[in-house]
Structure formats: structure tokens, C-alpha cells
Structure 1
Amino acid sequence: MTKGRSKQSSGSGDDLSLPKDKILRGRKNFKRLFENEAQVIRNQIVDLRFQILDMDSSGCFMGFIVKKSLGKAHKRNHMKRLLKEAYRHHQHILSKPVSGASVTFHGAFMAKVVDATYADVEKNVIALLSKVRDQLSPGHS
């Protein structure tokens, strides 16, 4: 018995999956995001910390951070799921310009609260992704 999602390819344009290999992982990658060269775009509920790197491989890698001081584990995990879901639905806003510029994008959404609704989180994520997209390609609207 196989699950339905495992047969989907992640290369198609209509695919809304977020494979594990597109999630930012590793201590070195996260440490790099908290250095001076990293840029931060702030919003009401979510901040986006990112770096655009010139590496051999191009792609868009995103992490999701919710500080322990924001609440109990189940609330932090819920907020992280909301961030991932909002990014999964709107990753195309950023992935197309990144692949067109042939650079590597490392970013992390950082939650400021844990009691936000999905609609609020989604609105913040879209705004942040659009701001980064506009920085990558200034002529795009």
C-alpha cells in the first residue's frame, strides 16, 4: 500500500508539495542566517531572515523558527505547521525568480506569536515573499 503523495513529482509547475530536501537544515546553514550579511524583512506576525548565495547549485531552501519563549510545545508546533503550509502554497512567488537568477536562496520564517490564524500567517508570508521577489528582480510586479 502506497501513499498518494509519494508518486507526485516535485518538478512540475502546479505541484504544491514541499519536499524535505527543500527545507533548510543544518547548524552551519542556520548559523549563516544569523551573521551580519543576512538580511531581515520584518512584518507583524512573521519575520523573514535570508541570504542570497552564489553557489554551484541553485534553489530555494526555507526554514521555520518558533522560539521556545513564545509558548508551550504544542502551540509552537502548530505555528510551525501554519508557516510551512502558507509557504507551501505560495513558494512559487519566490522559487521562479530564484531559479531564473541562478542563485541559492537560504531563508527562515521566524514567528513572533503563536496564536495567529492561518489567514493572518498566510497574508504575512505572501507579503514577505513578494518583498524578496521584488529585491531579486526589481522590474517584476
Structure 2
Amino acid sequence: MRKGRSNASSSHDDYSLPRAKILRGRKNFSRLFQRDACVIRETRVDLRFQIVDNTSFGCQMGFIVKKSLGKATKRNRMRRLLKEAYRHHQHKLTGVLNELQVTLHGAFMAKSVGVSYEDVEQDVVMLIEHLCNKDPISGDSKS
């Protein structure tokens, strides 16, 4: 028997981040670092993304914190903060992607560790809003 969730919840009420929505695999990540991938920058977090030819719509997002930023405990905390901020605001992005019927693979990349959740959340929200208003999703231009 399952605890907690009912099957009748709408997408706007569901703030979960299942493993299926997290970007995994070497090939997917290497695709994000090719020349045709787009990058949006904020002060503490960057977003790399690419529109993928896929039959399903929506997005898969990865969370990257470089080893050079500090010890594993600080990097893991930063990764958790990125995931949490994205989890709370992912509905803004998935709604736009479903309307446009495109699949997006992306990764939030931390520039530093030891920042507050509010700062990380502010950058993630700005990146998501910028991505929703950006032309590459609709296929007009690149940054």
C-alpha cells in the first residue's frame, strides 16, 4: 500500500521530482557541453540546455557542482539546494514545454558553494523565467 500520494493530484499541485525527470547518463551530459548547447548565466548558477528531438514532451534536468568548489559535503549541500529550488518552480517550465511540444535537457551548474537557499532559489527562478521567455525554445534564435 502506498503512503501519502493520491493518483488524482493535478500537475500544478505535484511538486515532486521523480528520478525520471532527472537527467542521467554520460551521453546526455556530454551533449550539453557541445557547441550547439545554449547557456544562460546568473550570479551564482548557470543553466546549460538543449532542445532534444524526442517523442515525449517535458524536460529532464541535471544538477552539477564541480569538484574544485570544495569538499563533498559542501558540494552535496549545494546540489540539494539546486534540486529543491528547481522542484518548487519546475511547473513554470514544464507547462511552457508541453504547450510547445518540445523536450528539453538541461543542467543547473553551481558557481560557488556556501550560499543561502534564498540566493539559489532566486537565481533558479530567474533562469527558469528567462528560459520560458527565450526564443531558442520556440526555435527562433540562439544565445
TM over 0.5: yes
d(CA) in 2 for partners of 1:8, 1:112: 38
> In structure 2, the residue corresponding to 1:91 is in which secondary structure?
helix
d(CA) in 2 for partners of 1:2, 1:71: 39
d(CA) in 2 for partners of 1:101, 1:3: 34
Structure 2 residue aligned with 1:18: 17
Show structure 2 runs of 5+ residues with no match: 139-143
Show structure 1 runs of 5+ residues with no match: none
**Residues 77 and 8 of structure 1, relative CA distance in 2, 3 Å threshold:** farther
* Cα distance, 1:11 vs structure 2: 5.5
Structure 1 residue aligned with 2:92: 93
Identity of aligned residues (%): 61
Runs of 4+ in 1 over 4 A off after TM superposition: 8-11
* Cα distance, 1:13 vs structure 2: 2.1
d(CA) in 2 for partners of 1:89, 1:27: 26
* Cα distance, 1:12 vs structure 2: 2.7
TM-score by length of 1: 0.90
Structure 2 residue aligned with 1:120: 119
* Cα distance, 1:66 vs structure 2: 0.1
Count of aligned pairs: 135
Structure 2 residue aligned with 1:106: 105
